[in-house]
Chain A
Amino acid sequence: MNETDLHFFIDSTVNYFEEVTSEKASAGIPYMKDEEPVVLEYTGIIGISGKRKGSIYVTTSEKMLSSIAKLILGIEEIGKEDIKDLVGEIANTISGNVRQAYGSDFMISVPVVVEGKAKDIKLPDNIQSFVIPITWKEHKSFLVVCLE
């Protein structure tokens, strides 16, 4: 992975928040993931196959997901199932949108959602992962990209 790859993911993420919430998210400086776990309350994981191989995940807090879901649905009461669903949909949309850069042989899986603070999210050992910190309003989240 190089800087250009990271920019594709940053642009896709920033665009997601702007389109869905009308409020920009800001991306922090990406860094190489080490053994320190990067996992918050809800995580949406997408497997990548085809031209590139690896995984991408978005990990975030319940509060952030609840705020976004309220904006999408225009209601105040958001259930746990919708919160879980949303983190998968965010991961799916960010991953799907980078096909504009990589083309249609960048294949994405359906999302897998992990609820609760897992020890860490298992990623392929032989590929370097990068962490992109994302801030939307007062909420922090992370996009982790692990691509061949």
Chain B
Amino acid sequence: MKEKVKLLIVDDSAIIRQAIHKHLKDFDIEVVGTADDGKVALEVFKSSHPDVVTLDITMPEIDGLTVLEEMLKIDSSVKVMVVTALSDKSTGLKAIKLGAKSFLPKPFTPEKLRSSFERLLD
């Protein structure tokens, strides 16, 4: 039997974490953890070994781009989708250059989230 995709959701907004979980529930995923700041994100990442991460940038403790670099040092195979209000091109390019597989600007519709996630899993 095919294993579920293990997902970690990182965002300092509880509403966004819930929305991502709700809109992705039709995919074959298991949410293995959530985190509301960068420091907790790295702790949960180390203990839960996700396949995929949705990652905010503007967060307390450690910003998302630093978290992205750290996650990839720990596990270079993890697929990270950056989901951020910092929607300027240079932030998007920086995230991709650092190793993110996808960049989704906020605000997002459920459709945009699902299609970005689908492409991420391909």
Q: Which residues of A contact B (CB under 8 A)?
A: 15-16, 19-20, 69, 72-74, 81-82, 85-86, 88-89, 92-97, 99-100, 103-104, 108-110
Contacts and interface: CB of A to CB of B under 8 A. Distances in A.
A86 B91 contact: no
Contacts of A104: 86, 88, 90-91, 94
A89 B58 contact: no
B15 interface: yes
B59 interface: yes
A81 B18 CA distance: 13
Interface of B: 12-16, 18-19, 22, 58-60, 84-91, 94, 105-109
A73 B85 contact: no
B15 A85 contact: yes
A67 to B, nearest CB: 13
B88 A99 contact: yes
Contact of A73 (B18, B58, B106): B18
Given A19-B109, A99-B88, A104-B86, A110 B16 contact: no
Given A82-B14, A89-B13, A104-B91, 18 more contacts: A19-B109, A20-B107, A73-B18, A73-B19, A82-B18, A85-B13, A88-B13, A92-B58, A92-B85, A93-B107, A97-B87, A97-B105, A97-B106, A99-B91, A100-B89, A104-B90, A108-B58, A109-B58
B107 A86 contact: no
A89 B87 CA distance: 14
